[in-house]
Structure 1
Amino acid sequence: MRTVAVTGATGFIASHTIALLLEAGYAVRGTVRSLARPEAHAFLTGLPGAAERLRLVEADLLKPQSFDAAVAGCDTVLHMASPYVMTVADPQRDLVDPAVQGTLSVLGACARTPSVSRVVLTSSMAAVTDEPESAVLLTEANWNTRSSLTRNPYYFSKAEAERAAWAFVETEKPGFDLVAINPFIVIGPSLTPQLNTSNAILADLLKGTYPGIIDLTWGMVDVRDVALAHLRAAETPAAAGRYLCAGDTITMREVVGLLRGLNVPGGRLPSLGLDNPVGSLLVRLLSYTQPQGVGSYLRSHIGRAPRYDTAKIQRDLGLSFRDIRGSIVDTVADMTRWGHVGR
């Protein structure tokens, strides 16, 4: 029986990946920040096969040696733990340090563990671009070079963490190979009652948080597809390098139209059309009144539609993507079930 370690086991993507691993018969070692409250992990320990093949261990991204016990004896390590929040008090402390130092801590532990033959890193499209241009078809060769601690700091943390991972492999030449999965905005049903940052986009639309329909175009992908991509990356010997993981693109106007058709009770969807030159100018001006992360995101994404080529992940890992409109419907149904919307 192969043993797979998954860091950040309680995360949105990680929990779905653990469910797939258990279903496939793997033994799983999942890391959590604390074991003091077992009820916080009940959704994991209650998964089919978890009683026999899931073990949770404590580890901290900022404590380099804490992952040694987690990866001991494992064949494959999926490094999925990383902070995901757009605005923080201190971008270096709250985003970059956990992302970069945590990645190096995990890779260091894997390098000290002879049994580990592959590490799969959960990166992001944030490491590929932070200002999409419709004239540019993004591939695995593209890197985000524009983000900084003051401009899209979350994007900066993901780009720095992935660069650090590839640099580690290049300089240390460990006994494992590295594969990176780069998903776009990940939505879908959640295994936990916690509302994650990506699904919150849909929840905010339904709650009336947005002042109007903004000229934003999102690349989205279903969490179940992203989890399967990690499983395939772990199982496919020929997998190598980076893999863009994204389904359809969809505009905010299209999303609002879809949500309106769902007739969610209490929904307060935006109706004011700001997806035009005058509206975009107004949003750009208003972005300077927003928290830093939100403001820089708006200024770098308004009026821009990403284009990307996912041929590599479809070819190498045999992955196909769900229709994102169906994923949105599933996500809203799930958020209603958890009580995030529909009241």
Structure 2
Amino acid sequence: MGNKVLVSGATGFIAGHTIERLLAAGHEVVGTVRNPADEAKLAHFRTMPGAERLQLVAADLTDADPFSAYTDVDTIMHMASPYRPNVADAQRDLVDPAVQGTLSMLRAAAAQPRVRRVVLTSSMAAVTDEPDGRVLTEADWNNKSSLTRNPYYYSKALAECAAWKFVARERPGYDLVVINPFLVIGPSHTSAVNTSPEIFINIIKGVFPAVLSLNWGVVDVRDVADAHIAAMERPKAAGRYLCVGDAMSMAEAVALMRAEGFGAKLPRLSMTGAIGTAVMKAFSYTQPVGTGSYLRTNLGRTLRFDASKSQNELGIHYRDAATSLRDTLADLARWGHIAKSV
């Protein structure tokens, strides 16, 4: 028999793929969204196999108790959290919804004896905001971000930290498992553009003046969804799981995009050396807070990680970055966001 699963933030990029897998496996799903009557945003759910077992309900992270009405379930996947690099008020727009929403869900779950496990979607942002060449593992924590330095990263680190503290203090009847994805790319169920794939749209459209010394840990959204399912299904799953398949530099991404036929406006000037990196760091001070602090803390950095825990304990076989990026580009073209060069 299938479980009944609550998925918050159901319209999210990762959530859509996760819900699709839950329904295909025979589970009953309750998904929270801002407006269940918005058919334009929700139409893709109606065509998923098993859609008759999906109920979409209204919940807002900023409400005092958005989730208690829906926690009569076996498993909760808390995915709802704001994801915007640049905001007017980082405390109001990022930190408060992320932390308060997470704690609201954990409190609601603690009051419902049926809940046996909560799977929290965190981020690599809770692991580091400034790669330094060390091999990152689940033991690493981002202790450097703030409201003015990588505020989105700050919100994710605070939210996950609050979750672990809540579980340690309250000792609820469920256990907590956390997934920490890196840069999530891959195909989308809708025309909405997720923040991560948007990076590649901007590169293709000529937003970047040069190839920068940036390195990303890349993971396919389908693999992230599989990790969430495994975290729910495997009794021995525990703790945090880095979710990342491959590393890719901006130079490698640009070369692949050019080979795939998207080269018209791709940057040709390379600023990946020490001088170019110094120039771009200086330029970063002209950018919004989120973008600027990201550039200063990531330009010229070497990203290394060990995702063996998710491979060994969750059984995830990650797609390579090139395959995921090709699938991402094909999907973005399908939705009309990018076009190949004539």
> What's the TM-score, normalizing by structure 1?
0.97
Deviation, 1:60, is 1.0
- SS of 2:67's partner is helix
2:41 equivalent to 1:40: yes
Aligned to 1:152: 150
Aligned to 1:187: 185
Distance 1:131 1:65 in 2: 35
Structure 1 stretches of 4+ moved >3 Å? none
Partner deviation per Cα, 1:301-338 (whole Å, 9 max, x = no partner):
00001111111111111111001101100000000000
2:329 equivalent to 1:332: yes
Aligned to 1:228: 226
Distance 1:91 1:43 in 2: 32
Distance 1:262 1:102 in 2: 41
Equivalent AA in structure 2 for residue 2 of structure 1: N
Deviation, 1:82, is 0.5
For the 8 Å contact 1:29–1:71, the answer to whether it is kept is no
Q: How many residues were matched structurally?
A: 339
Aligned to 2:27: 26
> What's the TM-score, normalizing by structure 2?
0.98
Distance 1:336 1:57 in 2: 32
Map 1:74-153; keep pairs closer than 5 Å.
Answer: 74-134=73-133, 136-153=134-151
- SS of 1:65's partner is coil
- SS of 1:64's partner is coil
Distance 2:211 2:35 in 1: 41
Distance 2:64 2:327 in 1: 39
Partner deviation per Cα, 1:227-284 (whole Å, 9 max, x = no partner):
00000000000000000000111111010000000113x7410001110111111101
Structure 2 gaps, min length 5: none
Distance 2:285 2:63 in 1: 36
Deviation, 1:46, is 2.1
For the 8 Å contact 1:59–1:70, the answer to whether it is kept is no
Structure 1 gaps, min length 5: none
User: Does 41-50 or 25-34 show the bigger shift?
Assistant: 41-50
Distance 1:58 1:70 in 2: 10
2:215 equivalent to 1:214: no
Identity of aligned residues (%): 57
Deviation, 1:64, is 3.2
Distance 1:44 1:145 in 2: 38
Out of 294, 304, 316, the position equivalent to 1:319 is 316
Equivalent AA in structure 2 for residue 105 of structure 1: S
- SS of 1:288's partner is helix
Deviation, 1:34, is 1.4
Partner deviation per Cα, 1:82-140 (whole Å, 9 max, x = no partner):
01110100000000000000000111110111110000000000000000011x11110
Deviation, 1:63, is 1.5
For the 8 Å contact 1:132–1:306, the answer to whether it is kept is yes
